[in-house]
Structures are given as structure tokens and as C-alpha cells.
Chains A and B, each alone.
Chain A
Amino acid sequence: MNLMKYKITRSITITAAAMGLVVMAGCASNKSTKSSSAAAKPAVWPLTIKDPAANESGAQIWAENCMRCHQLRSPSQYTPAQWGIIVQYMRLRAGLTGTQAKKVLAFLQSASAH
């Protein structure tokens, strides 16, 4: 039982440390997007994370990620405003980054409006 407690305590400590790094990374990432001059400095992970979603289209992220758990819903099934709510919810469910969610939303709203 003591060994089990030790393992659990160690797991929680490592998890908390990892979470701290993620929060720092998120804040550092936000800063770097606001200040272009920050890009001049070399980035060391995990203080700055380069999100590959920046190079992916919203349609691609939508098709590849949503399909994993359910059938793809047509963009025309909801209005652009409704997609705003749905994508905010699905970002949580699917564990998408903010960048990915924004790109998916832009695609769905654009396709919905047409």
C-alpha cells in the first residue's frame, strides 16, 4: 500500500509539474504572437510551442479530427453563429488547441454562409 501511495504521489507531482509547464508554454505562446520581435530569439521547448496547426487549413483539421469520434456534420446544418457555440464546445471535447478551433470555426462559418 505504501508503494502504491508513493507511486500515486509521484504521479501527481509529475503531473502538476507538467501542467505548470503547459500553462507557462501557453502564456509564452500568447506573448510571442502579440510581439513579433520575440520571434528573433531562439525558442526552446516547452517555453514556446510552435503549433503545426498554423500551417493546416481549417477544412483539413475539421475533416481529420471530427471524424475520429462521429460522422461529419455538414457545415450547412448550422448557422455561423451556432457553429461558434458548437466549436467552442467541441474544442473541449476533442482537446483541440485554440489555433485549431479558430481555423475550424472560420472554415465552418465560411462554408455555412455559402
Chain B
Amino acid sequence: MTQKRRVLISMAAALAIMPAAAAWADPAGGGADYQKLEHKYQQLQEQMATMAKQMSAMQKQQAALKASQAKAATTDTAAIDREVKRLYRRVMKDSQKISNLEPGNIQVLIAGDVNFQFQHVDGSASTFYADSSPMIQVRVDKNIFINTAFDFYTSAGAAGGSAADIGAANINYELNNYVTLGGGLVTSPIGGIVGQYNPAPWNRWLVDGSLEGALLPPNELGVWTRGGLPAPDNMGYLTYFLFVSNGPVLATTHDINGASYNNLGFGNWNPAAQNGKTVGGRFSYLPIPNIELGYSFEWSRPSADGSITTTNSLINAVDINTYYVNKKIDGLFRFRGGWTWDQVGQGIDSTGAFSLGGMSNGGQLEVAYQPSLCGIKYLDKMMAAFRYDRIDGPAAANFSNGASHEQRYSIGLDYWLHSNAVLKFEYEFDNLSNGLHGNDAMYVQFAVGI
């Protein structure tokens, strides 16, 4: 019950009682007492009306006060938000201006990786091996980027020694939010795994590369456009990488640029035989960031090391790359897979004694698990990895030993000392077709990414 109601009820009760009390005090009715009482009654009525008005006014004031306070609070928050955003934009703009004015606007970073390993491959002498792959990255400005990568490594053979190679030498220009143009020597996007492994070996779970890599070009020398863009209707992202490059060499004898007879050899940086070029690219779709599905193609008129004059080749490849991190599995699960088909068309030798035609294909399935969230010291830094990889040649002559396909099962155990330093152990079971036993291998490697 409010105060106003209590006052009104009290007043009404008093007014009801007063005439009765006056009649009881003066049964005769009338007289001075009655006049006094009536006067008093009127005074009380007036007072009650005044109080009612005052209370009403107070309630109105209170309501108005509350409304004004609420309005003030809303206005202040919105104004503060606006001011914060304005200041943030101003600071970002000014900091950009300042950085542009500072000397040393061209920035350089030396990155890359270094590793050493011990390996024992059946049929070969066991050996230590070392590799250093520095990268020089230059940020010319916010749109222009230069990347150069080298590879220095110890070489096998009775004489021993060392070798040097170049892995990248390219200039890139960011045209807009979704398009970058580039030219030079770059890691090939075909098949996905070459890029995902790079920089190897720090970024590989297993020491030895996949057999599928023999069907894929490691680099492209040419021009390209690449980038990423959102898929329509917020359905994830798309990436693309399209290029025109020198393309591969067709091997007509064993071990031409690392390829076997009737296969494509890569590393065609100085073609002497033909002007044929390659058109290729890779598209990938990421429905969610954890999953990438890729398709690649590369069509070319390969330069031949022999007298082959007319032939085409087409590489098709599909790949998947995914990971899952969850406390339910106590860590990280990774899966990479891919398959590549290299089709070499008919070639005609000038002597008429040589012909080509057929398809090589190969692929790999690779899984790894790291209990990174198990909470057990040391165990959370271990990663177990397994890979199945296979390569099929078009003919029995594909491999120098007469086998037509090779498949391997590799198991590995890694220990991540740091996010960029890993110690790996791997054992590889190698099998060839026709019941031939391949070259099983054992590797121990320590790699650091810079």
C-alpha cells in the first residue's frame, strides 16, 4: 500500500467519524461545536487535496528524473563508442603515415630452415646428411614482395662434396584484396603437397618425401596470378593459383631431371629443345578453415631430351588437407591425401623407332596425431605419423629395375621441442611389383625452421 493511499484512507475515516462524533457530543445538533467541526473538516479536505497534488507532482518529477538519467546513459555510451572508433581510425592512419616516413621502409627478413639427418637405405651405405635452406624475403612496400630461397646440401657419391640449388626467386604485386600477380621461380601449386610441405623438412611429419612428389613439379618458372576470395553466401573460401611456365621435360631415357623413362621431368629452367610452354593451376575450396579440397591441372608441350617433336602432357591432381583439434581426442589430428595422374600423349621419334603414350599415377594418404592437450609432460609434444604412398608407371620399363609400381608404408615418431624445432624418427617399408623388394629405409632427423 502506498503512502498516498494510506493518507487518503485515514482522511476518509476521519471525515466519516467526525459527524458521528459531533452528533454524539451534542445530541441536540447545531451550535458552535458543529460549526467548528465543519470548519475543521473543510480545512482537512483542503490539506488532503494539497497533499495529493504535491504527491502527484513528486511522482512526475521522479519519473522525469529516471527518464533523463536513462537517456543520458544511452547517449554517453554511443558517443564514447563513436569517439573510440574515430580515435582508432586516426591512430591507425597516422601510424601508417609515420611508418611510411621512417627510414628503412624496405624491410628484409632472413628465414628458412636447417636440418641434419642420419639415414640408412637398403642397398646404400649409411650416411649423415646436412641441408640449409635460407630464404631472403623483402617487403618493398605494402603491395610488393620479393622472395628468394636457396638450398645448400651435402651430396652423395664416392667423391662426396656439396651442392647448391635455388628454390625461389620471385616478385609479387598485390593488385587488390583478392588478386596478386607475380613472376619468376615459385613453388608449384600442383598437387598441393609440395606447397604444404614447404619449407621442408621442418614442415614435414615424415623425413622422406612422398612418392607422389615424383609426379609433381616442385617449381614453376613463369608468370602467375593467385589469391583467395570468399565463396558466395558465406559458404567458405576459394583459393586459386594460375600460371604459364616453362613446363616439364619429357624423359626418353632413365633419370632425366630425376624422372624415369616415359615420364615427365621437372626443373626445366633452360629449355634447349622446344618452345613449348605450360598452362596450369590449382583451385581449392575451404568449406571451413580446417578443411581444404584442391584440384590441379597442368597442360604442356614438354621439351624432349631426345628427338621427340610432337607430344602433349596433362597432369591432373586432387588433394585434401584437414586437421581437427579437440579436448575429446586430447589433441591434434591431421590428415593429408592426394592423387596425381600424369598423362603423356603420343610422341613420334624422327627415326620412327620410338613411341610414347600412357599414364603414370600415384598418391599418398598421410595421418598424424599429437596428444597436445593431454596435459602429460613430454607426451604432449610427441607426434605419431603414418603414410601410405604409391606410384604406378605406364609400363614395366618405368623403373630401371623392371617393376611397374612401387608402394611404401612409413611410420614416424616426432618430438616437437618447440613450435619450430622437431626431432624425427622414421622407418619406411618399400615394396615393388612383381614380388620385388624395394629399399627399406631408416631416418633420424633434427630440423629447425627459422
Contacts and interface: CB of A to CB of B under 8 A. Distances in A.
Interface of A: 1, 4, 8, 11-12, 15, 19, 22-23, 25-27, 29-30, 45-46, 49-53, 61, 64-65, 67-74, 77, 81-82, 84-86, 88-89, 91-100
A89 B229 contact: no
Contact of A11 (B232, B292, B297): B297
B240 interface: yes
B410 to A, nearest CB: 20
A75 B178 CA distance: 25
Contact of B175 (A4, A23, A61, A95): A23
A64 B416 contact: no
Given A1-B312, A12-B279, A68-B323, A88 B227 contact: no
A68 B323 CA distance: 6
Contact of A25 (B229, B240, B323): B229
Given A22-B240, A29-B176, A88-B174, 8 more contacts: A22-B227, A27-B176, A52-B234, A67-B323, A85-B107, A86-B109, A95-B239, A98-B178
B321 A68 contact: yes
A19 B202 CA distance: 34
Interface residues of B, number: 56
Given A49-B230, A71-B416, A97 B178 contact: yes
A22 B419 contact: no
Interface string B170-209: 0010111111101000000000000110000011000000
Contacts of A84: 107, 139
A73 B199 CA distance: 14
B302 interface: no
B154 interface: no
B150 interface: no
